[in-house]
Amino acid sequence: AVIVDMPDEEAGRIPMHNVVPRLSDTPGALRTPAPDIGQHNAEILGALGLSDEDRTRLAEEGVI
pLDDT of residue 52: 93
Per-residue H/E/C for the chain: CCEEEEEECCCEEEEEECCCCCCCCCCCCCCCCCCCCCCCHHHHHHHCCCCHHHHHHHHHCCCC
Per-residue pLDDT of the chain (64 residues; tens, 9 = 90+): 789 999 888 889 989 988 888 888 988 888 888 888 889 999 999 999 999 999 999 999 999 8
Type of residue at 28: G
pLDDT of residue 1: 77
pLDDT of residue 35: 86
